[in-house]
Every structure is written in structure tokens, then in C-alpha cells.
A and B are shown apart, each in its own frame.
Chain A
């Protein structure tokens, strides 16, 4: 009889302990369901931490490389100065042409943003999915004689792309989102009147797409340099003509 009692007590204990397991399983399911929306499913703590440290490492690496780049360029400048005045001036000019120097000067700043309703009521970004408008804008700025152009501080060079990548616009291989601040250095008067022409690109942005567009003339605009690298793999200079 006492043996039987012991057995029953053992079963009861098993029942209680498995109940604890079940309880925790349910809690686990609830917890991952709460966080699952954000993480897109169960992401283990270890994985998340690995990703976090990877991002931190890559950031540090990028900063380091940027430092190194500016150091090396300073060195290069030093060498050029030592070699000859004329060569140094030449190199500076080509660097400016290639967009490899920070430049400052007067010009215009154009801010293009989605209509208010996109932010308050949701929906896809109009300007992002009609990124050709930005291309047209850059084209017009060049027509008006802009000497340096940047969009959200991404310098537009001869090799810059403006293209849709996912739900962002990629410029110089880096993603950016509205509002798009287009800076252009050149004669402010010419730039603004070229852009402001009736049925021109800004007119179309405002009236056909309902975008919010602001244009301002500035006496001092700073445009950052292009920080990427351009190397030629396929093109080679040809001799004579």
C-alpha cells in the first residue's frame, strides 16, 4: 500500500514538473511571438550579438580606412608639392574635376521631399520610386553650369549612379532616403532660373507628382568629396589620333 502511494506521489511529481516545462514552452512561444515581428522570426541571442559586434567592427574598420585614406592623400600632396608647382596645380585641378576634393562656393540648395500625406497616412515614397526625377534635376543643374553637385552629401561624379535599390535610392553605392537635399555650386541666379522654368523639372515635381520642393540661393555651400575609389579595369588610354 505504501509502495503504491509512493508511485502515485512520483507520478504527481512528474506531472508537476512537466507542467513547469509546458509553462515555459508556452512562455517561450509568447516571448518569441512578441519579438518575432521585429526580428522576422526567432533570432538567438548569440546570433544577434554576433551581428551587433560585426557591425561595430565594420564601422571601426571603415573609420580607420577613411583616416588612412586622408593620411595617404596628405602624403601624396606633400610629394606633389615637392616635385613641382605646376604639377601640383595640375593634380589639384584634376582632383577637383574628379570630385576628389571638398569644395565650397555659392550656389543653390534644393530640397525635395514626399508630400505630407505619405508621412501621415503611409504609402510608398513617391520621389524614391520616381528617382529619374532626381536624375533629370542633376542633368538640368549641369546644363545650368553647376560645377559641383551632391545629393544628401553624396558627391555626384562622372561615375555616380542614382538608382532604386529596394526601397531606397543608391547614390555612389550607398543608400539614402527622402528628403533629398541637392546642393549645387554655380551661379545661383542662373541655376535657379534654369530650374524654375515653366514645365521644367521642378514644376513637374510639384505639379505632376505633388512633391514638396524648396529651392534656396546660398552664398556659401560646402560639398563633400567623393570618398570611393574609381579604378579602370576595361578602359585604357589610346595613343595619338
Chain B
């Protein structure tokens, strides 16, 4: 699972750098928010995997829906003149911290268990 995530990220970054695609700056902010949501989904998936509760359907639907909603919310906020993207930053940013903390704990638990065995 970890290998899949790291390989995917690395592959994507390399591919993006090689292909040299640049999108209009106007979209940059929406895409950043969608990225944050998607990253949160990935961390969520890693955590679920560690807890042995991982479900592909939940992961994929969360990945797509969260990214879309984050981008949509940012766009709507721009139109309304209210910084709605704060909601996305707070929620997804906070959840990334939660998830990484959970992953770390499970890791430590497993390692210590292994050692004591």
C-alpha cells in the first residue's frame, strides 16, 4: 500500500515535470484546493489500510467527491466574495494531521509489538 502511494506520487511528479503542462493561472487556486482534498483522501486510505479497514470504493468516491467539492466551494466562495476555501483548508488540513498522527501511532504500536514478541 505504501509502496503504491509513494510510487504513484513519484511517478506523477516525474511525469508532470517531463510533460511540461501548464494550465491557466486562474485555475491554480481551485486545483490547489482539490489537491489538498485528494491528498487527504490518500492519507485517509493509508490510515484505513493500517487499521485493516481499507475499502477501494470508499477511497475512490472520497477522492473524487472531496476534490470536486473543495474546488467547487472555492469557486463559489470567489463568486460570493466569501473565503469559503478556508473551510476546505481547515477540514482537509486538519484531517491530514489527524490521519498522519493515527498512522504514526499504529506504526509505533506494531513496531513495539514486534520487538516485544
B87 interface contact, C-beta 8 A? no
Within 8 Å by CB of B8, from A21, A24, A27, A44, lies A21
If A9-B56, A17-B42, A22-B8 touch, does A30 touch B28 (CB 8 Å cutoff)? no
Chain A proximity of B88: nearest CB distance (Å): 13
Interface SS, A side: helix
Within 8 Å by CB of A16, from B8, B28, B41, lies B8
Chain A proximity of B90: nearest CB distance (Å): 15
In the complex, the answer to whether B22 meets A30 with C-beta atoms within 8 Å is yes
- Give the size category of A's interface with B: 20 to 34
If A26-B17, A27-B16, A28-B32 touch, does A15 touch B8 (CB 8 Å cutoff)? yes
Residue of B nearest to A44 (CB): B29
In the complex, the answer to whether A17 meets B13 with C-beta atoms within 8 Å is no
Chain B proximity of A22: nearest CB distance (Å): 2
In the complex, the answer to whether A17 meets B56 with C-beta atoms within 8 Å is no
Chain B proximity of A121: nearest CB distance (Å): 32
A13 to B41 Cα, complex, angstroms: 13
B-side residues, CB < 8 A to A, are: 1, 4-5, 7-17, 20-23, 25-26, 28-29, 31-32, 34-35, 38-39, 41-42, 45, 54, 56, 59-60, 63, 78, 83, 85
In the complex, the answer to whether A18 meets B8 with C-beta atoms within 8 Å is yes
Within 8 Å by CB of B15, from A14, A26, A31, lies A26
A22 to B5 Cα, complex, angstroms: 10
In the complex, the answer to whether B42 meets A21 with C-beta atoms within 8 Å is yes
* Inter-chain contacts of B63 with A (CB < 8 A): 17
If A30-B21, A35-B25 touch, does A10 touch B56 (CB 8 Å cutoff)? yes
Within 8 Å by CB of B4, from A14, A25, A45, A49, lies A14
24 A-B pairs within 8 Å (CB atoms) are namely A10-B54, A10-B59, A11-B4, A13-B56, A14-B4, A17-B42, A17-B60, A17-B63, A18-B7, A19-B11, A21-B12, A21-B42, A22-B10, A22-B12, A22-B14, A22-B16, A23-B12, A25-B16, A27-B31, A30-B16, A30-B21, A31-B28, A32-B28, A44-B29
